[in-house]
Amino acid sequence: MADDRPNILFIMTDDHASHAMSCYGSRINQTPNLDRIANEGMRFDNCFCTNSICTPSRATILAGTYNHINGVTTLATPMDNETLTFPKILQDAGYQTAVFGKWHLGTGPKHCPTGFDDWAVLPGQGFYHNPEFIFKGPHGGTRKSTQGYVTDIITDMSLDWLKQRDPDKPFCLLYQHKAPHRPWFPDEKHEHLYLNEHIPEPETLYDDYSNRAGAAAAAEMRVGTHMHPLDVKAEIPQHLSENERRKWAYQRYIKDYLRVIASVDDNVGRVLDYLDETGLSENTIVVYTSDQGFFLGDHGWYDKRFIYEESLRMPLIIRYPKEVQAGSVNKDMVLNTDFAPSFLDLAGAEIPESFQGRSIRPLLQGGTPPDWRQSMYYRYWMHKANHNVYAHYGLRTHRYKLIYYYSEACDQPGAIDESYEPEWELFDLEEDPYELNNVYHDPAYARIIEELKDELHRRQAEVQDTPVEEKA
């Protein structure tokens, strides 16, 4: 009997913020092929990561658990490849599985991909041009260099694998791009895009970090000021004022960011075309996401890490004609912990008790279970490292965001052991959607702060995390 379980095509990019996707209303670019997925499926408007940084979010997506459970709290904690992940469960259930592209969960026998029939991944961040890959093989795989542009190569590998698979068995393919991660080197085909255009600036490009906790001003991720010359492919003019540098560097880096996304969009189009041409579209769940959001000049920043909206928010669009109404939009709170249980649910496999997320299949079918979450817990562990972002945890509800910068390393690998006075922030997202005004000390919010703290601690206990000793 034919196996009619759905195929899963999981497309993930690195650092692609949803406000650079036209299906999310981008003011700065067009992504016609990604829009096909949204137009023919469901767009999730409130999908959040639980720790906005590459390696940890990837571990959460695969393992369905928070980082204090899977052990991947920072960039210095590669994932143990004996961790239970959704591809392993699907492989055991008879799925053909593969991953191509960005892995970023470690290399070598203990950290290379497992649970995949085939794989080829970039070592660490990898390169945009002529990248080296690690191909599946003994002792953690074999390194070989390739010729060409990384986004095209990852797509070719994915298409080649789809073409040689056994058509009588379902597949789960993780098609994972390096783009649009720093340092944004476009291919020849797209390097002239936007050349004489002015890209609209975000509302908060000239943020001065007043009315915030000290963490915002301390962060070293300001466009221009804290960038590397490679980010803008030029020396940064030091004679300019800070705001002038932001204005100049924003145009330089955002254009390259959008150019590398244009290549992703073209290549996703090639894969969608292949599904159409081979009759696979109907029974294939196509997912597009990115491991976290990114500041696109918002708050004057690039990078991510903060629980602030642009970094917290992940793009998530899913097409599955059998169960999802075309052009639908969901506003429920979805987390990166939900991905693994959702894929297992859709494939008819059992969801392990140890997974902490919840299947979004009912949301895909157009409903919202009455007990669906109304708040979410977030924790950034990598205190100070790379961009001087202080360690924090927090709670987001549909209206409020409560943040506690506990600002210490807590013995986390990769974090810098230098502590600061802890601080709280509260944002009323209805009154202040850009998070410019911390109202934690406003007496009008005293009661809501108490409620939010209770909810924060309830969520922490639920996911088995431990709060630090908090000051008032």
For Ca ion (CB under 5 A), the number of binding residues is 4
Are the C-beta atoms of residues 305 and 52 closer than 8 Å to each other? yes
| Residue that has been written with the tokens 């953690």 in this structure | 140
Instruction: Give 139 or 228: the residue with its C-beta nearer to Ca ion.
Output: 228
**Which residue's Cβ lies closest to Ca ion?**
54
Determine, following the binding rule CB under 5 A, whether residue 14 of this chain makes contact with Ca ion: yes
Determine, following the binding rule CB under 5 A, whether residue 12 of this chain makes contact with Ca ion: no
| Closest distance to Ca ion from the beta carbon of 430 (Å) | 29
Determine, following the binding rule CB under 5 A, whether residue 382 of this chain makes contact with Ca ion: no
The span of 7-15, 228-236, 276-284, 443-451 binding Ca ion (CB under 5 A) equals 7-15
Instruction: Give 50 or 330: the residue with its C-beta nearer to Ca ion.
Output: 50
| Closest distance to Ca ion from the beta carbon of 14 (Å) | 4
Site string for Ca ion, 398-417 (x = CB under 5 A): --------------------
Report which of 78, 61, 1, 48 is spatially closest to residue 334, judged by C-alpha positions: 48
Instruction: Give 180 or 341: the residue with its C-beta nearer to Ca ion.
Output: 180
The torsion region of residue 242 among left (phi > 0), alpha (psi -120 to 50) and beta comes to alpha
Outline where 292-423 has alpha helix (H): 309-312, 339-347, 361-364
Instruction: Give 256 or 291: the residue with its C-beta nearer to Ca ion.
Output: 291
Q: What is the DSSP string of 426-443?
A: EEETTT-TT-----TT-G
Q: What is the DSSP string of 328-344?
A: EEE-S-EEGGGHHHHHH
Instruction: Give 24 or 406: the residue with its C-beta nearer to Ca ion.
Output: 24
| Closest distance to Ca ion from the beta carbon of 439 (Å) | 30
- Residue 363 half-sphere exposure toward CB, CA atoms < 13 A: 26
| Closest distance to Ca ion from the beta carbon of 328 (Å) | 27
| Closest distance to Ca ion from the beta carbon of 291 (Å) | 4
Specify which residues 401 forms β-bridges with. 396, 427
| Closest distance to Ca ion from the beta carbon of 228 (Å) | 17
Instruction: Give 28 or 314: the residue with its C-beta nearer to Ca ion.
Output: 314
| Closest distance to Ca ion from the beta carbon of 444 (Å) | 37
- φ/ψ (deg, to 5) at 160: -60, -40
Instruction: Give 20 or 54: the residue with its C-beta nearer to Ca ion.
Output: 54
Cα separation, 194 vs 364, in Å, equals 36
Residues 44-73 close enough to bind Ca ion by CB under 5 A: 54
For the chain, the distance separating the N- and C-terminal CA atoms, rounded to the nearest angstrom, is: 63
Instruction: Give 15 or 423: the residue with its C-beta nearer to Ca ion.
Output: 15
Angle of helix 150-164 relative to helix 242-277, nearest 10 degrees?
A: 20
Determine, following the binding rule CB under 5 A, whether residue 15 of this chain makes contact with Ca ion: yes
Determine, following the binding rule CB under 5 A, whether residue 310 of this chain makes contact with Ca ion: no
| Closest distance to Ca ion from the beta carbon of 461 (Å) | 29
Residues 259-298 close enough to bind Ca ion by CB under 5 A: 291
Measured over the CA atoms of residue 412, residue 417, residue 420 and residue 421, the dihedral's sign is: positive
Taking the mean position of all CA atoms in its chain, how far away is CA 332? 18
Report which of 255, 194, 253, 203 is spatially closest to residue 226, judged by C-alpha positions: 253
| Closest distance to Ca ion from the beta carbon of 13 (Å) | 8
Instruction: Give 245 or 313: the residue with its C-beta nearer to Ca ion.
Output: 313
Are the C-beta atoms of residues 399 and 390 closer than 8 Å to each other? no
| Residue that has been written with the tokens 């940084």 in this structure | 53
SS3 224: coil
- Residue 102 half-sphere exposure toward CB, CA atoms < 13 A: 26
The span of 13-21, 133-141, 161-169, 182-190 binding Ca ion (CB under 5 A) equals 13-21
Instruction: Give 87 or 180: the residue with its C-beta nearer to Ca ion.
Output: 180
| Closest distance to Ca ion from the beta carbon of 436 (Å) | 25
| Closest distance to Ca ion from the beta carbon of 290 (Å) | 7
Residues 139-168 close enough to bind Ca ion by CB under 5 A: none
Instruction: Give 12 or 42: the residue with its C-beta nearer to Ca ion.
Output: 12
Are the C-beta atoms of residues 18 and 313 closer than 8 Å to each other? yes
Report which of 327, 333, 297 is spatially closest to residue 313, judged by C-alpha positions: 333
Residues making contact with Ca ion (CB under 5 A): 14-15, 54, 291
